[in-house]
Structure 1
Amino acid sequence: MDDQVEILKALADKNRLLIIEMLSCGELCACDIMDGLALTQPTISHHMKILQHAKLVKRRKEGKWVFYSINQEKVDELQGFLKHLTSFKEDCVCKGATQESCYCR
């Protein structure tokens, strides 16, 4: 669950959500992201470092250009985690609680 917490923390920022949305259209150069969001290069680097650390974004360098794309495998894992988290389970976290104190019912 620690990986998912790290991903959700990375997504808890408006600019990083906008970057993910931009990358949903395909691979982009860092300069395109910078221009699209009207942010400085250091700010973009900061956000991309966080997204890469969470493994949500892949980085590819071509000469002096850096290109970013969504790590679809990690996004799929997150979607599965959220589906599991929000679905009914017989082995819920309140298992063992008395009927009166169970907050899932």
Structure 2
Amino acid sequence: MLNTVVEIDKAAMILKLLGDKTRLIMVKILDTHDCCVCEFVEIFKMSQPAISQHLRKLKDIGLVKEERRGQWIFYSTDKNNEYYSFVKMILKQLPNQDEKLIELKEKGVRIMCR
């Protein structure tokens, strides 16, 4: 259930951002796991600048937050964001993406920056 009504313009902006498959998968993963850019580079086989650009867009609207741990920055969904309940309803409809992280762990890449 939504705690607040989401304005149409804001909902359209969020849905447009999540309309990109890469960002949608990122948000689904980040909803249950903290990840760094290097992990997404490996998952999506994209350049670091491309991954950073996707994360920046999600961060700019407050769906994603970052936390510095030593020399690394880890990303996660911002569950305190006013639109999180709206996004959570979308994420609930998507298949689990844990296998992507399991695959990284098996390759030994998941622990690279931890």
TM-score by length of 2: 0.61
Question: Counterpart of 1:26 in 2: which secondary structure?
Answer: coil
Instruction: Check 1:21–1:9 CA distance in 2 against 1; reply closer, same or farther (3 A cut).
Output: same
Residue 64, structure 1, aligned to residue 66, structure 2: no
Q: Please tell me the root mean square deviation across aligned C-alpha atoms, in Å.
A: 1.9
1:34 aligns with 2:41: yes
Q: Is the 8 A contact 1:30 1:44 kept in 2?
A: yes
**Secondary structure of the equivalent of 1:22?**
helix
- Once residues 77 and 18 of structure 1 are traced to their aligned partners in structure 2, the CA distance between those partners, rounded to angstroms, is 16
Q: State the number of aligned residues.
A: 80
Q: Partners of 1:78 and 1:19 in 2: how far apart?
A: 13
Q: Which has the larger radius of gyration?
A: 1
Q: What are structure 2's unaligned runs of at least 5 residues?
A: 1-6, 90-114
Tell me the distance in 2 between the aligned counterparts of 1:30 and 1:22. 13
Q: Which amino acid aligns with 1:32?
A: E
Distance 2:75 2:24 in 1: 14
Name 1:98's counterpart in structure 2.
none
Q: TM-score scaled to structure 1, two decimals? A: 0.65
Percent of aligned positions with the same letter in both sequences? 32
Out of 60, 72, 75, the position equivalent to 2:84 is 75
* Structure 1 residues 77 and 38, CA gap change in structure 2 (3 angstroms): same
Q: Which residue of 2 aligns with 1:45?
A: 52
- Please state if 1:9 is matched with 2:28: no
Offset of 1:63 from its aligned partner?
Answer: 2.9
